[in-house]
Amino acid sequence: MEVADLEVRFGGVVALAGVSFSLISGECCGLIGANGSGKSTLLAALSRLHHGAERGDIRLAGESCVGWSPDRVARWGVARTFQTVRLVADLDVRDNVMAGVMPGSATGNHADRRRGPFAVLRGRASDASARVDEALQTVGVTAQRKRRPTELPYGLQRRVEIARAIVSRPRVLLLDEPTAGMTGRERAELGELFGRLAGSGMAVLVVEHDVRFVTSTCDQAFALDGGRVVARGTPTEVIASPEVRQAYLGTGGAGGAPGEVRAPGAGGAPGDVSGTSSVHGTGDAGGTGPSRGARA
């Protein structure tokens, strides 16, 4: 995924002011920035879900997806989670994750398509079911699969959302503060999980306030301030940059080991489970994602 000079405005508010970056398959990229710096707006733009005025370009494997519907972007293989949990309260965990399987592409591989439409139909239900089980296991909520989201602690709800996002094996995975409200141990486990997902070939972008998490989890990082990219590079470089220390950490110049700084204000509302029937954050890679190291 390549983003070039992206600008998003909401009326007079410039939420993103010329943002450019690339996400690489096989890498986990961290995104930091103070409250209101444009992180969620960026994820909304990448999944074609914002309603602001826009300029610039977003390319998926070289093709511009500006003008694509959110569904089309999801079918291409962009999946996301939201800053606040959006699970369907009336469905159990397994069915919530099942909702992330894109209609018409649950098998999604070209070999199945070559065998004809009936092979795809026959394979679809069992393949989708197997994928759901795999996703539940990957994030560690297999034991909770028959429970309702509201019965689970917040950390497990967030894992269910991640399972729903990865169930169709996206090429690009966008995570908006996935560790907000979690314990240190849960954060470490999720960091490991994101590393594994990237290692399987996904391009992962994770919005995160905890710089220690970014340093230990991410291969690359960039920082937003007032809708602009003010630093990019390795997590250590980004966190050490004067712009980030000034704008994000509010400390200015040197002082303090970067990995020990805890930034203020992790967003997200613990316990917020949507009771609506809407389902968000799905994606499907079609099982044919690019090889590790390629531009997504």
Ligand X SMILES: Nc1ncnc2c1ncn2[C@@H]1O[C@H](COP(=O)(O)OP(=O)(O)OP(=O)(O)O)[C@@H](O)[C@H]1O
> Which one, 46 or 162, has the nearer CB to ligand X?
46
Scanning 36-44, 141-149, 178-186, 231-239 for contacts with ligand X by CB under 6 A, the matching segment is 36-44
296 binds ligand X (CB under 6 A): no
241 binds Mg ion (CB under 5 A): no
140 binds ligand X (CB under 6 A): no
53 vs 4, 50, 75, CA distance in Å? Answer: 16, 9, 24
d(CA 231, CA 32): 10
41 binds ligand X (CB under 6 A): yes
Q: Among residues 110, 37, 49, 46, which one has the least CA distance to residue 77?
A: 46
111 binds ligand X (CB under 6 A): no
CB of 40 to Mg ion, least distance (A): 3
Scanning 9-17, 198-206, 251-259, 283-291 for contacts with ligand X by CB under 6 A, the matching segment is 9-17
At residue 70, what is the residue type? P
d(CA 44, CA 15): 11
Element (H, E) at 14: strand 13-22
40 binds Mg ion (CB under 5 A): yes
- DSSP 3-state of 154: helix
39 binds ligand X (CB under 6 A): yes
214 binds ligand X (CB under 6 A): no
CB of 192 to ligand X, least distance (A): 24
d(CA 149, CA 276): 13
Task: Answer whether 163's CB lies under 8 Å from 141's CB.
Answer: yes
Residue labelled with tokens 């999980």: 193
38 binds, among ligand X, Mg ion, none (CB under 5 to 8 A by kind): ligand X
Scanning 7-15, 40-48, 179-187, 196-204 for contacts with Mg ion by CB under 5 A, the matching segment is 40-48
> Which one, 140 or 226, has the nearer CB to ligand X?
226
178 binds ligand X (CB under 6 A): no
The order of strands in the sheet holding 220-225 is: 78-80, 172-176, 203-207, 28-33, 220-225, 228-233
Q: Which residues bind ligand X (CB under 6 A)?
A: 10, 13, 15, 33, 35-41, 83, 267
